[in-house]
Structure 1
Amino acid sequence: MSEIQNYNSKVTDPASRKMETFSYLPQLTDEEIRTQVQYVVDQGWQPAIEHTEPERANDDYWYMWKLPMFGETDVDAILGEAKKAHEAYPEHHVKVIGYDPFAQTQGTAFVVYRGPMK
């Protein structure tokens, strides 16, 4: 078994901060983001968009962009709302959430737009 590496992250170093599991991977391409949103739809999860200031990214609560998109299955509509949130708040991080209605928890969450780190 290979040795697990420590990730040197510090609150005082904004560039080292990570948000959600996908943050440890290279930046997702537009096609990879589309695939993840399609997965949310395929699972029957309810999509929602959230945003927050980069300095608050580690807080438990982000701002909800409008209401959750209950029953939305159009990937373009979901991505369109994420883009609108980014356009309205270009300095914020914007993420897509997939709520699992059966487990009553988030099935997934990933950042699709990153605000500038200060």
Structure 2
Amino acid sequence: MSEIRDFSPSSRKLGTFSYLKEMEPERIRKQVEYIVRRGWNPAVEHSEPENAFDHYWYMWKLPLFGETDVDKILAEAAACRAAHPHNHVRLVGYDTRRQSQGAALVVYRGLAAA
């Protein structure tokens, strides 16, 4: 049987998109447009990098129920980042029909603590 290894937190990935190169703003925008097109409720969450692998992230305000303005959704993510520059910020699209997350992606990575 092979040995089980635990990698350092800096080497761990944060979901599917984290295996790709960092997304440019226009690609993030396309993901938000997809969430809106699907009719999912967007929400913004944040977490300290060292706790990002736990199940619970802090919710930034309430989910944006019924919000379809992509610019407003991106502005909330940017406001969360400005308020918590050392935290990772992710955008979640809640699928109300299936009662689960339809999408979740880290839109900003936290700054390294000084």
Q: Find the aligned partners of 2:89 and 2:65 in 1 and give their Cα distance.
A: 19
The answer on 1:38 being equivalent to 2:23 is: no
Q: How many residues align?
A: 109
The answer on 1:70 being equivalent to 2:65 is: yes
1:73 partner letter:
T
Q: Deviations over 1:63-99 (max 9, x none)?
A: 0000000000000000000000000000000000000
CA contact (8 A) 1:15 1:117 kept: no
Decide which of 13, 22, 28 is 2:23's aligned counterpart: 28
CA deviation after TM superposition for structure 1 residue 17, in Å: 1.3
Q: Find the aligned partners of 2:82 and 2:21 in 1 and give their Cα distance.
A: 23
The answer on 1:82 being equivalent to 2:71 is: no
Identity within the alignment, %: 57
Change in Cα spacing, 1:31 to 1:61, as seen in structure 2 (3 Å) is: same
Q: 1:99 corresponds to which residue?
A: 94
For structure 1, the 5+ residue unaligned runs are 1-7
Q: Deviations over 1:9-37 (max 9, x none)?
A: 71xx2321110111111111100000000
Q: Find the aligned partners of 1:71 and 1:89 in 2 and give their Cα distance.
A: 25
1:15 partner letter:
S
Q: Find the aligned partners of 1:84 and 1:103 in 2 and give their Cα distance.
A: 29
Q: Deviating runs (4+, > 6 A) in structure 1?
A: none
**TM-score, length basis structure 1:** 0.88
CA deviation after TM superposition for structure 1 residue 116, in Å: 2.9
For structure 2, the 5+ residue unaligned runs are none
SS at match of 1:110: strand
Considering only aligned residues, what root-mean-square deviation do their CA atoms show, in Å?
1.4
CA contact (8 A) 1:9 1:16 kept: no
Change in Cα spacing, 1:80 to 1:46, as seen in structure 2 (3 Å) is: same
**TM-score, length basis structure 2:** 0.91
